[in-house]
């Protein structure tokens, strides 16, 4: 017989949810349209409602790079006030071909006739190290036929002007000026090398995207909009243990961060964790405290739906592309030496502030005499913490005080963590090598996680996140979790003395906000080679109008 759960039962009525479902559509822009397998793709997302205004209905979106052969890779992008940014890297095994980059929210995925193509971006991807190709996705042209092709021209939209010097010396700085003669707007801005690798034709522009916005939507199934962050769902299999404890709870925590902590809410055999977005690829630990420790099983559900790509143009392959492909390959190889990823600037994003207002006392163990067991550390170093036996198991208690420190109480209703991971069974901690523990953080004030109150928290921090190497019973699941990509911008700065500057991307800002009738100046540095470069700005005004502008210059 299943025990009573210390959670809130989650109910969703299809008719009610459908009536309240917001209209939202995602427009995708990227730093370029042509990539090599192994390249990083820098993304900007705009979430608009039926009136073309920035929507705050969802806090997370899901991206899939798909071809007619299926999904090549996935990503999650957080949304804040209708805008989102992040990046992902194309797998080096990705076959040569054209792909569709699709972005959607939980509500979009539940719509009738799901609009997978709305706002999507068609990307052209070459694999320079493999002959693998998307089946029936490549067209072979001779050099003469390929060189007769012309790049697609995209008509400007809105009242934005871009300008810089027509010719810029190699390695020299130059200033790119944006003049916004219209309403306040939010754009993506990219400055990149435009070589002879022609992209596939564009299917969406800001203007066409706005014209296709629906006035209302209907849903195929019940869905909860992810207005605060990703809802991580796990399915639980197995029986619950019979003991004297009448309650059980489910926790999800991330190794390395004590603030990424969530209490599950149940829906039959599903458990939902309402997060405020977990950023970065992390190891997460989920525990159902009373699930059978030998035969229980926790299985996380994927939020990705793997849609079909729809009709895609064929990639045009020709011997005329050889020199450009070799140059791209050299540039990709030099990225590591230039440390491009480390030069990205982090942008504002949603944060879990669970313990931000709770006072913390840190014990750095190198400041004390080292002891060989965790139990000795508790006894000799931590005056607030005690260990005792209850029902044959060791439990930890914490001395907590009121705000005026006039009353002190000892409570056992605390969370014990190791590297930010909740430990309901303290034996793995007590058996752990105490010499590998660096710090102990103690939060001696009450806080609420979800709907569950706790009277304190003790977190044992190891030298190298050893917690995920511990042995856990079946009621605990440790998985590599694909988190939300950190929103980043790249200003193109390259440290001196780091090798030849072969950058293809000179500047990327995914969420550039322009005031009404304003000027914006950015400084970029030309790379160490000659070529034609293009600046592209695209986005939307606050009153629902499209913006698109290009500018081309030469580095020589």
Enumerate domains of the chain plus CATH numbers: 14-219+305-349+487-555 (2.60.40.1930), 360-471 (2.170.130)
What is the predicted pLDDT for the residue at 549? 97
Strands 4-5 and 247-248: what pairing? parallel
SS3 at position 22: coil
Whole-number pLDDT of residue 380: 93
Tokens of 130: 């493999």
Structure tokens at 143: 């050099």
* pLDDT the model gives residue 483: 95
- Tell me whether residue 472 is exposed, middle or buried, using C-beta atoms within 10 angstroms of its C-beta: 0 to 12, 13 to 18, 19 or more: middle
CB proximity list for 546: less than 8 A, separation 6 or greater:
157, 158, 205, 206, 207, 209, 210, 540
Query: Which tokens is 316 given?
Result: 């045009």
Report the pLDDT value the prediction gives residue 237, as an integer from 0 to 100. 86
**pLDDT for the residue 402:** 59
* Residue 358 DSSP symbol: S
**What are the two backbone dihedrals, phi and then psi, of residue 7, each rounded to the nearest 5 degrees?**
-150, 175
Full strand arrangement of the beta sheet holding 385-390: 385-390, 393-401, 408-411
Q: Look up the pTM and report it.
A: 0.90
**By C-alpha distance, which of 514, 490, 401, 501 is closest to 159?**
514
Are 108 and 223 a contacting pair, CB within 8 Å?
no
- In angstroms, rounded to a whole number, what is the distance separating the alpha carbons of residues 115 and 128? 33
Q: What pLDDT is recorded for position 445?
A: 82
Provide the residue count of the chain.
Answer: 556
Dihedral-angle region of residue 489 (phi above 0 means left; psi in -120 to 50 means alpha; beta otherwise): beta
Radius of gyration for the chain, computed over Cα atoms and rounded to the nearest angstrom: 27
- DSSP bridge partners of 179: 161, 519
Residue ranges for the chain with pLDDT beneath 50: 1-19, 244, 246
Give the span between the Cα atoms of 276 and 34, in whole angstroms.
33
Please list, in sequence order, all residues whose beta carbon lies within 8 angstroms of the beta carbon of residue 29, skipping any fewer than 6 positions away: 43, 44, 45, 46, 121, 188, 190, 510, 538, 539
Give the per-residue pLDDT at 187. Answer: 97
Interior CA angle at 546 toward 545 and 547, to 5°? 125
Judge whether 58 and 105 are in contact, CB under 8 Å. Answer: yes
pLDDT of residue 495: 63
Distance CA 407, CA 503 (A): 63
């Amino acid at each position: 017989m299943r025990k009573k759960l210390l959670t809130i039962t989650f109910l969703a009525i299809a008719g009610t949810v459908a009536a309240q479902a917001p209209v939202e559509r995602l427009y995708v822009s990227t730093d370029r349209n042509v990539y090599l397998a192994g390249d990083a793709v820098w993304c900007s997302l705009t979430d608009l409602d039926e009136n073309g205004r920035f929507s705050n209905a969802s806090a997370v979106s899901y991206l899939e790079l798909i071809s007619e052969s299926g999904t090549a890779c996935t990503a999650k992008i957080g949304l804040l006030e209708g805008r989102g940014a992040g990046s992902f890297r194309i797998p080096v095994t990705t076959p040569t071909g054209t792909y569709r980059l699709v972005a959607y929210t939980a509500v979009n995925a539940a719509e009738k006739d799901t609009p997978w193509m709305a706002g999507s971006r068609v990307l052209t991807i070459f694999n320079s190290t493999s002959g693998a190709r998307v089946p029936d996705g490549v067209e072979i042209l001779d050099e003469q036929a390929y060189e007769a092709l012309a790049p697609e021209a995209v008509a400007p939209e809105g009242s934005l002007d871009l300008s810089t010097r027509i010719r810029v010396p190699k390695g020299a700085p130059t200033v790119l000026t944006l003049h916004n003669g219209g309403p306040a707007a939010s754009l993506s801005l990219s400055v990149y090398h435009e070589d002879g690798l022609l992209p596939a034709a564009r299917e969406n522009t800001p203007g066409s995207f706005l014209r296709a916005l629906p006035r209302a939507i209907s849903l195929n199934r019940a869905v909860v909009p992810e207005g605060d962050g990703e809802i991580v769902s796990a399915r639980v299999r197995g029986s619950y243990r019979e003991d004297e404890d009448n309650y059980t709870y489910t926790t999800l925590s991330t190794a390395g961060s004590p603030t990424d902590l969530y209490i599950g809410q149940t829906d039959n055999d599903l458990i939902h964790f309402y997060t405020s977005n977990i950023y970065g690829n992390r190891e997460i630990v989920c525990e159902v405290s009373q699930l059978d420790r030998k035969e229980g099983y926790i299985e996380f559900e994927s939020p990705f739906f793997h849609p079909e790509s729809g009709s895609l143009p064929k990639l045009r392959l020709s011997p005329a592309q050889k020199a450009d492909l070799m140059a791209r390959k050299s540039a990709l190889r030099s990225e590591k030496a230039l440390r491009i990823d480390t030069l990205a600037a982090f942008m504002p994003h949603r944060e879990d502030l669970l313990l931000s207002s709770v006072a913390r006392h840190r014990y750095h163990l190198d400041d004390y005499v080292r002891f060989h067991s965790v139990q000795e550390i508790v006894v000799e170093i931590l005056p607030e913490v005690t260990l005792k036996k209850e029902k044959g198991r060791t439990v930890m208690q914490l001395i907590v005080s009121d705000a005026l420190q006039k009353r002190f109480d000892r409570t056992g209703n605390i969370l014990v963590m190791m590297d930010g991971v909740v430990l309901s069974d303290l034996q793995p901690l007590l058996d752990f090598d105490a010499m590998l523990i660096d710090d102990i953080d103690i939060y001696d004030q009450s806080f609420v996680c979800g709907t569950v109150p706790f009277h304190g928290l003790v977190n044992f921090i190891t030298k190298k996140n050893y917690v995920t190497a511990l042995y856990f019973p079946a009621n605990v699941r440790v998985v590599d979790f694909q988190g939300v990509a950190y929103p980043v911008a790249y200003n193109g700065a390259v440290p001196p003395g780091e090798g030849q500057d072969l950058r293809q991307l000179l500047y990327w800002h995914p969420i550039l906000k322009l005031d009404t009738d304003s000027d914006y100046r950015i400084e970029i540095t030309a790379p160490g080679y000659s070529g034609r470069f293009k600046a592209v700005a695209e986005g939307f005004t606050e009153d629902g109008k499209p913006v698109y502008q290009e500018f081309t210059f030469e580095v020589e």
